[in-house]
Amino acid sequence: MDSLIIEGPSKLSGKVEVSGSKNSALPLLFASILFNEKVTYENIPRLWDVETTLKLLEMMGCGTEWDKEGGRVSIIPRVTSQIAPYEQVKKMRAGILALGPLVAKYGDAKVSLPGGCAIGARPVNYHIDALRKMGVTVEVEEGYIHASIKGKLIGTEILFPEVTVTGTENLLYVGAIAEGTTVLQNAACEPEVVALGEFLVSCGAKITGLGTQTVTIQGTPLVAPTKPIRVPPDRIEAGTWVSIALATRSQLEISGCDAAQMTSVLAAFRQMGAKIEEVNQGTTLKVIPVEKYSPLHIETAPYPGFPTDMQAQILTLLCLAEGRSTVVESIFENRFMHVAELQRLGAKIEVNGNVATVEGPVKFQGAPIMATDLRASACLVLAGLISKGTTKVSRIYHLDRGYQRLDEKLCRLGAKITRVAE
Ligand code: EPZ
């Protein structure tokens, strides 16, 4: 397992390019299962989760080609096995996204229950209930979801009890092919869901309401894409870079963004006093250093609210604000694992249920700390950059799951980070 040794405090400067979105790339890659012909992708980020997704597709019989440097992937979707095994799905909960396409295309799927992770139990009951409403027989046995349908998938109205990103995505795959009309109520509005929906529309799907809480899908046969699908930018990586620039008080230029997808994140930072310029139609963000940050009350929420995947990053930044802040984690039941690690660096944070109270400003002192989940690992690297002395962040594989060589990008901006294998 790798660790990062970070010498702080670090001043950064220069330009950084945001990679393709992990949470967009994964559902788009699984969508290849819906076709018989080769599907090609561009701007695929170089991440462990992409590696795991391609392995899952290969285990189903698909051919895959991955030009890691060029960010191009091709899938030859000759599915011979409709099984998504535990050994891969346990590494990446997004493996549940094999369920919808396999049921839609083959009427049969055996997908491992994802299992929980550091941030929560990650149940998939909403996915299962929705498929059952579509006429799919779903049994959960020995840790696997067995889904099958004898006749045709029939469109119907689905109300999600809670906004679910991958649940909405799974039902987009199925609704696009089912007979009749499928209406998703309380659908997720995340840009990654919209990107998947728009891709399906480009293949002939009849979908309206994408990006709103009511999505209507008229089932129809799909036509395989003839040109490469370009993965949109990663709004969470972009937000992470802004938080790094703000925390280290560095002048950074962050390109490959889409500011229109970051309104709540940028608003929160600006409310703290940050100076962030949007240039080139919001595809580049320029962060101008400021000395003082104001405290904030922030609650995570489904899009377009403040994203839970940015909670750890803003929590770390609020340790530098002048006064008391509160951060409410409304999406996952256990997404404050990074607090104990930040406290080891000197953070003054108290967690009570799903509310973290932060006193600032504090000066961090370097110490050994441990990454617990993907976005937490980014906040710990951020914390190491602003700590005085040496910070060693272990279990950095969490970081590599969702960020394309963040340490290398940081070193190019002037950070002093070495990666050590242990
Ligand atoms: C997606 O996870 C993202 N992953 C997560 O990003 C992100 O944090 C999350 O959405 C929320 O935005 C991918 O897109 C691959 P949910 P997902 O279903 O779809 C509960 C990252 O860092 N729920 O929207 O699994 C669930 O427990 C990852 O890249 C049920 O109870 O999340 C949670 O409390 C982490 N039953 C809430 O709903 C279900 O069947 C939202 O979960 C489904 C969800």
Residue 285's pLDDT is what? Answer: 98
Same domain, 260 and 405: yes
Domain boundary pick from 180, 208, 230: 230
Please tell me the distance between residue 164's alpha carbon and the centre of ligand 1 in angstroms. 6
- Checking if the pLDDT of 115 tops 80, the result is no
The set of catalytic residues is 117
Rounded alpha-carbon distances, angstroms, from residue 356 to 128, 330, 334, 338: 33, 11, 12, 11
Residue 16 belongs to some domain of the structure: no
Paired with 183 in beta bridges are: 157, 216
Residue 156's pLDDT is what? Answer: 97
Domain boundary pick from 203, 230, 257: 230
Same domain, 131 and 265: no
| 127-155 as b/e: b if 16+ CB within 10 A | bbebbeebbbebeeeeebbebbbeeebeb
Determine contact, residues 79/106, Cβ cutoff 8 Å: yes
Ligand 1 pocket test, pick from 162, 168, 213 with the greatest ligand atom count within 8 Å of Cβ, gives: 162
94 Cα nearest atom in ligand 1: 15
CATH of residue 131: 3.65.10.10
Residue (of 348, 372, 370, 368) closest to 359 by Cα position: 348
Rounded alpha-carbon distances, angstroms, from residue 367 to 38, 176, 374, 381, 388: 49, 51, 20, 12, 9
Copy the structure tokens of residue 335. 């997404």
Please tell me the distance between residue 106's alpha carbon and the centre of ligand 1 in angstroms. 25
Please tell me the distance between residue 165's alpha carbon and the centre of ligand 1 in angstroms. 6
For 128, residues 6+ apart whose C-beta sits below 8 A from its C-beta are 138, 140, 145, 147
- Checking if the pLDDT of 116 tops 70, the result is no
Copy the structure tokens of residue 146. 């067995």
Q: Is 308 in the pocket of ligand 1 (CB under 6 A)?
A: yes
Please tell me the distance between residue 11's alpha carbon and the centre of ligand 1 in angstroms. 34
Same domain, 269 and 323: yes
Q: Given the structure tokens 């990446």, which residue do they identify?
A: 92
Q: What is the 3-state secondary structure (H, E, C) of 234-247?
A: CHHHHHHHHHHHHH
For 346, residues 6+ apart whose C-beta sits below 8 A from its C-beta are 362, 363, 364, 365, 387
Instruction: In whole angstroms, give the CA distance from residue 205 to residue 218.
Output: 7
Determine contact, residues 232/21, Cβ cutoff 8 Å: yes
- pLDDT tens per residue across span 373-386: 888 899 999 999 99
Residue 20 belongs to some domain of the structure: no
Residue 320 belongs to some domain of the structure: yes
Instruction: In whole angstroms, give the CA distance from residue 162 to residue 333.
Output: 14
* Other Cβ atoms closer than 10 A to 296: 20
Nearest CA, atom 18, ligand 1: 164
Instruction: In whole angstroms, give the CA distance from residue 370 to residue 361.
Output: 23
Residue (of 283, 232, 235) closest to 44 by Cα position: 232
Report the mean per-residue pLDDT for the chain: 96
Same domain, 356 and 406: yes
Same domain, 220 and 258: no
Same domain, 285 and 370: yes
The count of structural domains within the chain is 2
Instruction: In whole angstroms, give the CA distance from residue 351 to residue 76.
Output: 48
- Checking if the pLDDT of 117 tops 80, the result is no
Q: Is 91 in the pocket of ligand 1 (CB under 6 A)?
A: no
92 Cα nearest atom in ligand 1: 15
127 Cα nearest atom in ligand 1: 40
Q: Say how far residue 68 (Cα) sits from the centre of its chain.
A: 19
Quote the crossing angle between the two packed helices 337-344 and 374-385, to the nearest 10°.
Answer: 20
**Residue 151 — very low, low, confident or very high, per pLDDT cuts 50/70/90?**
confident
Residue 68's pLDDT is what? Answer: 95
Residue 176's pLDDT is what? Answer: 97
Domain that holds residue 81: 26-230
Domain boundary pick from 212, 230, 248: 230
